[in-house]
Chains A and B, each alone.
Chain A
């Protein structure tokens, strides 16, 4: 079924016999892919494209940016006003970060719905979570670079979290800052790390892709590929589908960049950083809001004070995902065949959206109550609900193979 690679010109064979680079690419092209992948499977390529866009725009921005507390804000304005197409670079990079998270969150929810984290794809899932953690660190440090009010206060609030750690907390915070306050050394190291981490992400993405190429893609039915009839070569089938879908993704992306570039940003970040004026509401970018809500939701728990509990809960909410392949030990992957899990999944989606709104509101009154309930639900979902469902649910009968149900619907049509 795999298309035979076209005969290669001599120079390609010359290279290939020394370093099989073109041969591997041909392997990539012929990679047998389940033929029933739906549109949710295209978000991985959106993420990959966005990563490239972020690298390219970021490197050019770095040519014009000045990492110094006295000049950072002005250098950004210079990029916006005087650098050729600087406004384009910056708006693409800023909105690109948001698009990246949007796409990756959908990609993760896709994984949660279709059980993509289950055997034999646990490593794919793990690399994904590590990518997510690196993305968060990168985005956080990138947000500090313009040195606006939100940049500065976000840096202050988040680095301060580490001071909650008993005994060594204060020391760690001073070490992170490179001094006794968020200041020039902090900005400098954030810039350095913000430049470094995306390349770490590239490496992780290679591992991520390598690890699902080794075992093959999952698919919406959640059953294994049984015969070559179930698959299509990646090229041209999925390359054209992905390129078409990337076009649609870029339309959405471009709509933000060109017509609402500051829609997702916070106006306060157009005010230069001022350590003496605290903004009325310190809020992170929207993609951190659910975690920010969890951070601020926790009360004192036994001997752990509220701040430390919040930090533990926030990091725990992500680290928990590493255990998911074992918390959910149901053999059935796709939620389409798991009626109870499917309900739990949608409740969890709602829970995350609720947490997002809680993160945007001040942690008082009804909002604090809601964020506590939503945080509790988040952990209840993974630690109790999912394991119980996995062990008690009666899944619906699975189709025999990928080609079977598809052939049937086609015959009916």
Chain B
């Protein structure tokens, strides 16, 4: 038995090593939504929403989220409506013609491109992925995303591939945390990025914006997280009591059995 566990552990380390792609291990941040009692920080989500709408939304969709969901990050319905109204959607009018109308609470977040082909064509043949589930669609999602957004830089001087020196082509960027290090997304958050932050909060530094937008996208990927954990604690407490009661009954019933 002990042998089995030891062998298992040894193999676990080995296979983890075998799996590491050519990307740095993401930084390890602490998040308000970590852990059993984790909650989203509403102020942070709202700042993150701002970063998303001002910066990322020009390339990335968020189609699993509806504008009505924004009340869950603490917006009032009219504020949420205002966010929606910045975009337009197609509608079939009574005369059968397609016409534009302002997006509303009932609509999904409007994607910047009509289809993947258009998205790729506008971005060096790499379509920017929809971000609704990005935090769940990557290993160690939140940490990875934060690291990616803050991981741009110049390639190392001795950068090589298959022994040959390697250079970036146009439209390519070096990022420590992206698998293969070469990413088609230009650094979205830089010192020049201007996102309007509330006066009484943190300054919109690159790190701060990266953190906030990551938190927002974590919420977008898993809006039911708080409900889940809250329910989970109740369920665990119930089960503990249940187990306790039945342990006593079990012992009672069995006490005369030898």
Contact = CB atoms under 8 A, between A and B. Distances in A.
Contacts of A18: none
Nearest to B139: A267
Contact of A267 (B138, B179, B253): B138
Given A81-B64, A88-B228, A258 B235 contact: yes
Contacts of B139: 267
B236 A240 contact: no
A354 interface: yes
B249 A244 contact: yes
A361 B1 CA distance: 24
A240 B243 CA distance: 11
B258 A407 contact: yes
Nearest to A254: B235
Contacts of A360: 15, 19
B39 interface: no
A362 B4 contact: no
B87 interface: no
B79 to A, nearest CB: 20
B250 interface: yes
Contacts of A257: 232
Contacts of B191: none
Given A267-B138, A346-B1, A237 B18 contact: no
A280 B179 contact: yes
B243 A244 contact: yes
A102 to B, nearest CB: 15
B137 A87 contact: no
Contacts of A350: 3-4, 7
Nearest to A269: B137
Interface stretch (A188-196, A245-253, A296-304): A245-253
A232 interface: yes
B252 to A, nearest CB: 8
Given A258-B228, A261-B228, A240 B18 contact: no
Given A259-B36, A346-B1, A353-B7, A243 B246 contact: yes
A27 to B, nearest CB: 20
Given A250-B239, A267-B137, A80 B7 contact: no
A241 B250 contact: yes
Contacts of A361: 14-15, 18-19
Interface string A246-277: 01101100110111011000011011000000
A268 B137 contact: yes
Interface string B1-34: 1011001100110110011010000000000000
B158 interface: no
A244 B236 contact: no
A92 B127 CA distance: 34
A10 interface: no
B184 to A, nearest CB: 14
Given A254-B235, A261-B228, A280 B14 contact: no
A236 B236 contact: no
A354 B11 contact: yes
Contact of B249 (A74, A240, A255): A240
Given A81-B224, A247-B239, A267 B18 contact: no
Contacts of A367: 15, 18
A240 B228 contact: no
Contact of B243 (A77, A88, A251, A258): A251
B141 A237 contact: no
A196 to B, nearest CB: 30
Contact of B15 (A74, A280, A357): A357
A299 B154 CA distance: 45
Q: Which of A74, A255, A267 gathers the greatest number of chain B CB atoms within 10 Å?
A: A267
Given A247-B242, A271-B137, A254 B232 contact: yes
A87 B217 CA distance: 18
A354 B10 CA distance: 10
A407 B7 CA distance: 38
A88 B234 CA distance: 14
A248 B18 CA distance: 35
A91 B222 CA distance: 12
B11 A244 contact: no
B253 A87 contact: no
A259 B226 CA distance: 10
A23 B12 CA distance: 53
Interface string A166-195: 000000000000000000000000000000
Contact of B247 (A244, A250, A281, A407): A244
Given A91-B228, A240-B249, A270-B221, 12 more contacts: A88-B228, A236-B253, A247-B246, A254-B232, A259-B36, A259-B229, A267-B139, A350-B3, A350-B4, A353-B4, A360-B19, A361-B14
30 contacts: A87-B224, A87-B227, A88-B228, A88-B231, A91-B228, A236-B253, A237-B254, A240-B250, A240-B254, A243-B250, A244-B243, A244-B249, A247-B242, A248-B243, A254-B235, A254-B239, A258-B229, A270-B136, A281-B19, A349-B4, A350-B4, A353-B4, A353-B7, A353-B11, A361-B14, A362-B18, A367-B15, A367-B18, A406-B258, A407-B258
10 A-B pairs with the lowest CB-CB distances in the bound complex, closest first: A258-B232, A247-B243, A270-B137, A244-B246, A87-B224, A357-B11, A410-B258, A270-B133, A270-B136, A244-B250
